């Protein structure tokens, strides 16, 4: 079965700083999702990556998928308190099981004003 | 994007009772839905895959008789926690498989068993 390793597990930064969260897969990724969650609430979809070398950006968040499709990174530029939360990467199983996601353990981000 | 509605968002029930959680795809047909559980300060763990018109496929370690899943139509899947106990208290969230390759999540349900 596929396993996702997220790092770091937690991150505390000062407002305005840049940060990166990594997600490494034990298998080639069919599709990689990034979500943000406030604990106990639903998932906020950030981005989905499928192609090797793909990079997507939305506002101050950029996600990349490496060429080998086994590692993804999420980069936040000039962080703000509103970026605080739990960031989850999820790997799509693909094939007949597409839509079925395996999640990393999450990264808890705290942004101090 | 597609919308998945989950209801209720919060529920408190007495130990020994059953609770039903609904997951609806509002603007698309979902032949497959997924149910996840999240323990405090933990990530989401897949419980089962719900297929319209057939039996759900449960992940290893998930009790089929405790977590009953019904996918009666292309837009509705339900998860019933039977004879709930305090250890069943958790955050449950569903997702629906859309087209072409994307999963859309509901808002989640916080279950507290007292």
pLDDT at A92: 86
Count of domains in chain A? 1
Q: Is the CB of A41 inside 8 Å of chain B's CB atoms?
A: yes
**Does the pLDDT value for residue A7 go beyond 90?**
yes
Region B8-32 average pLDDT: 94
Residue of higher predicted confidence among A17 and A68: A17
CA distance to partner chain B, nearest, from residue A107 (Å): 9
Residue B103 CB-half CA count within 13 A? 32
Give the gap in angstroms from C-alpha B108 to the nearest C-alpha of chain A. 5
* Residues of the domain holding A58: 4-72+80-112
Among B32, B91, B101, the residue with its CB nearest the CB of A40 is B91
- Chain B residue at shortest CA distance from A88: B43
The reported pLDDT for the residue numbered B101 is: 56
**Pair type for strands B10-13 and B109-113:** parallel
Can you tell me the distance from the alpha carbon of B45 to that of A102, in angstroms, rounded to the nearest whole number? Answer: 7
pLDDT tens-place string over residues B76-114: 999 999 999 999 999 999 999 866 557 789 999 999 999
Distance (Å, rounded) from C-alpha A48 to C-alpha A64?
10
- pLDDT band per the 50, 70, 90 thresholds, residue A30: confident
The model's pLDDT over A57-104, given as tens digits with 9 standing for 90+, comes to: 999 999 999 989 899 999 999 999 999 999 999 998 777 777 889 999
Residue B66 sits at φ, ψ, to 5 deg, of -90, -40
Of B22, B55, B29, B56, residue with least CA distance to B47: B56
Rounded CA separation B59/B72 (Å): 20
Q: How much is the pLDDT for B1?
A: 65
Nearest chain B CA: its distance from A46 CA (Å): 12
Residue B31 Cα, gap to closest chain A Cα (Å): 11
Taking all residues of chain A, what is their mean pLDDT, rounded to a whole number? 92
C-beta atoms surrounding A42 within 10 Å:
18
Which residues in chain B are contacts of A45 at CB distance < 8 A?
1, 104-105
> Which CATH number is A23's domain given?
2.60.40.10
What is the arithmetic mean of pLDDT over A19-48? 91
The model's pLDDT over B23-58, given as tens digits with 9 standing for 90+, comes to 999 988 888 999 999 988 788 999 999 988 889 999
Q: Which residues contact B8 (CB under 8 A, 6 or more apart)?
A: B21, B109
Complete DSSP assignment for A22-73: EEEESS--SEEEEEEE-TTS-EEEEEEE-STT-EEEETTEEEEE-TTSSEEE
Report the 3 state secondary structure along chain B.
Answer: CCCEEEECCEEEECCCCCEEEEEEECCCCCCEEEEEEECCCCCEEEEEEEECCCCCEECCCCCCCCEEEEEEECCEEEEEECCCCHHHCEEEEEEEECCCCCEEECCCEEEEEC
Residues of A in contact with B1 (CB under 8 A): 45
Name residues 51-110 of chain A within 8 A of B (Cβ). 88, 90, 92, 94, 97-106
* Separation of alpha carbons B95 and B112, rounded Å: 21
């Amino acid at each position: 079965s596929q396993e996702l390793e997220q790092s770091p597990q937690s991150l505390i930064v000062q407002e305005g700083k840049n940060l990166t969260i990594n997600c490494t897969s034990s298998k080639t990724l069919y599709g990689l999702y990034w979500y943000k969650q406030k604990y106990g609430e639903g998932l906020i979809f950030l981005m989905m990556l499928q192609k090797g070398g793909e990079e997507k950006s939305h506002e101050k968040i950029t996600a990349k998928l490496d060429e080998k499709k086994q590692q993804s990174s999420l980069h936040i530029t000039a962080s703000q308190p509103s970026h605080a939360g739990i960031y989850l990467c999820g790997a799509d199983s693909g094939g007949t099981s597409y839509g079925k996601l395996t999640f990393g353990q999450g990264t808890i981000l705290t942004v101090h004003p | 994007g597609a919308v998945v509605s989950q209801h209720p968002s919060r529920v408190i029930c007495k130990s020994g009772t059953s609770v039903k959680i609904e997951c609806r795809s509002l603007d698309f047909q979902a032949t497959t839905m997924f149910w996840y559980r999240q323990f405090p300060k933990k990530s989401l763990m897949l419980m089962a895959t719900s297929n319209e018109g057939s039996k759900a496929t449960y992940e290893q370690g998930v009790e089929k008789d405790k977590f009953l899943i019904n996918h009666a139509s292309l837009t509705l899947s339900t998860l019933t926690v039977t004879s709930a106990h305090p250890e069943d208290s958790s955050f449950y969230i569903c997702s629906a498989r859309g087209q072409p390759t994307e999963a859309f999540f509901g808002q989640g349900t916080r279950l507290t068993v007292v």
